[in-house]
Chains A and B, each alone.
Chain A
Amino acid sequence: DGGITQSPKYLFRKEGQNVTLSCEQNLNHDAMYWYRQDPGQGLRLIYYSQIVNDFQKGDIAEGYSVSREKKESFPLTVTSAQKNPTAFYLCATLSGRNTGELFFGEGSRLTVL
Chain B
Amino acid sequence: AQSVTQLDSQVPVFEEAPVELRCNYSSSVSVYLFWYVQYPNQGLQLLLKYLSGSTLVKGINGFEAEFNKSQTSFHLRKPSVHISDTAEYFCAVSRNSGGYQKVTFGTGTKLQVIP
Interface size class of B (residues with CB under 8 A): 20 to 34
Using Cβ atoms and an 8 Å threshold, which residues of chain A touch B100?
48, 50, 56
Known contacts: A48-B100, A94-B101, A101-B49. The answer to whether A41 contacts B107 by CB under 8 A is yes
Interface check B42, CB cutoff 8 A: yes
**Partner among B42, B49, B51, B107 whose Cβ is within 8 Å of the Cβ of A42:** B107
Of A4, A50, A56, A96, which is in contact with the most chain B CB atoms at under 10 Å from its CB? A96
Using Cβ atoms and an 8 Å threshold, which residues of chain A touch B43?
4, 6, 90, 92, 104-107
> Could you tell me the dominant secondary structure of chain B's interface residues?
strand
Give the 7 A-B CB pairs with smallest separation, nearest first.
Answer: A100-B94, A104-B43, A100-B101, A42-B107, A43-B105, A42-B105, A104-B44
Q: Flag if A107 contacts B108 (CB, 8 Å).
A: no
Tally of A interface residues using CB under 8 Å: 28
Cβ distance A12 to chain B, nearest Cβ, rounded Å: 15
Q: Flag if B105 contacts A40 (CB, 8 Å).
A: no
Interface check A99, CB cutoff 8 A: yes
**Partner among A42, A94, A100, A106 whose Cβ is within 8 Å of the Cβ of B90:** A42
Q: Flag if B107 contacts A109 (CB, 8 Å).
A: no
Report Cα–Cα, A83/B102, bound state, in Å: 26
Q: Flag if A99 contacts B90 (CB, 8 Å).
A: no
| Chain A residue at smallest Cβ distance from B102 | A100
| Chain A residue at smallest Cβ distance from B99 | A50
Interface check A98, CB cutoff 8 A: yes
**Partner among A31, A92, A103, A107 whose Cβ is within 8 Å of the Cβ of B42:** A107
**CB-contacts of A65-92 with B (<8 A):** 88, 90, 92
| Chain A residue at smallest Cβ distance from B31 | A100
Using Cβ atoms and an 8 Å threshold, which residues of chain B touch A96?
32, 49, 101
Q: Flag if A102 contacts B42 (CB, 8 Å).
A: no
Report Cα–Cα, A97/B108, bound state, in Å: 24
Task: Give per-residue flags for B44-78: 1 if the beta carbon is below 8 A from chain A beta carbons, else 0.
Answer: 11100101000000000000000000000000000
Using Cβ atoms and an 8 Å threshold, which residues of chain B touch A50?
99-100
